[in-house]
Amino acid sequence: MEELGPAAAPPEGRGRDERSLEALSLAGGGGAAVAGRQLSEGRRATLASALELEGTVLREGRLTQFVANNLERRIRLSGAPRGEPPAGGGGSSIPAIDPGALQDVVALAGQVAAQVDELLRNVHCGLQALTALSVGCIQTYRDGVESLGEAADLSIRAMYALVARCEELDRAMQPVPALAKRIRDMKGTLERLEGLCK
């Protein structure tokens, strides 16, 4: 059976993927006729059976998932340069690390760390300002509630004092109706005396 190498592993567009799948289906014993680029049911079944030989195929409705066997080796083969032959056996074909790239990564990591520190400091300052504002609002609300309680207490006391004064005034005004009656009687008597004098 034909094994996927570096020429078939990295996709170079949809047409290349379809050509790779065609080669895989033909290698697995397919051979159903294809009209254009649309897959028929027979070809799908052939392709699925060929994929099952190369790895694990999971189907969920119209979604088909494929996990290849020896995935790490295939990834290494796909990452190898085209001019170099793939490393045989269990050897790894990881390219050498560029020191300049590492220095760039370290510099960028330092910049990111500095920016994260500055961001955290800004967030800390913002949270402190919000906390101070919240404390000020709560203290103002507390002072307002205490002042309102004191004002309500003073108003109640003033109202009781007013009611008491009104009761005292009412008691003091009780002789007034009798005095008004006497004044009316005196006035009538004076009018009669004036009438007699004329």
Q: Give the other-Cβ count within 10 Å of 108's Cβ.
A: 10
Q: What is the rounded distance in angstroms from the CA atom of residue 122 to the CA atom of residue 29?
A: 65
The lowest-confidence range among 5-14, 49-58, 188-197 is 5-14
Q: Note whether 92 and 76 are within 8 A (CB).
A: yes
pTM of structure: 0.35
Give residue-wise pLDDT tens across range 175-191.
Answer: 888 888 999 999 988 88
141: Cβ contacts below 8 Å, ≥ 6 apart: none
Q: What is the rounded distance in angstroms from the CA atom of residue 161 to the CA atom of residue 154?
A: 10
Token digits of residue 124: 């800390």
Give residue-wise pLDDT tens across range 8-49.
Answer: 444 444 444 444 545 554 544 444 333 344 445 555 556 666
* pLDDT tier for residue 122 given thresholds of 50, 70 and 90: very high
What is the per-residue pLDDT for 94?
66
Strands (E), the chain: 55-60, 63-68
